[in-house]
Amino acid sequence: MNAQNDPGHGDSPAAWTAVTIMLIAVTIGTVAFFFDLAWLVWASVGLVLLGWLTGVVMAKAGYGVKGPRYAPKAHS
């Protein structure tokens, strides 16, 4: 695959922010499930959705792979 057709694999500020929020949420939810804290499990589900929404909003604001505010890093 050449560089012109490379989709970027989600390596953007929007993707990194969304995935970080969602990983934290899943970690919290897993620990809460272990300790049988149902309310916290559901709160972590809400946090996963917030992470997804954050990624969408940031991508629309130009921080996605094809966005005008995204500056790809050169690979060495």
Whether 68 maps to a domain, the answer reads: no
Which are the contacts of 56, defined by CB distance < 8 A and separation ≥ 6?
Answer: 14, 18
Whether 20 maps to a domain, the answer reads: yes
Q: How many domains does one find in the chain?
A: 1
Tens-digit pLDDT profile for residues 17-75: 999 999 999 999 999 999 999 999 999 999 999 999 999 999 999 998 888 877 766 66
The answer to whether the predicted template modeling score (pTM) of the entire model surpasses 0.75 is yes
Whether 8 maps to a domain, the answer reads: no
Domain that holds residue 23: 13-63
**H and E: helices and strands count for the chain:** 2, 0
Helices 38-58 and 13-34: angle between axes, nearest 10 degrees: 180
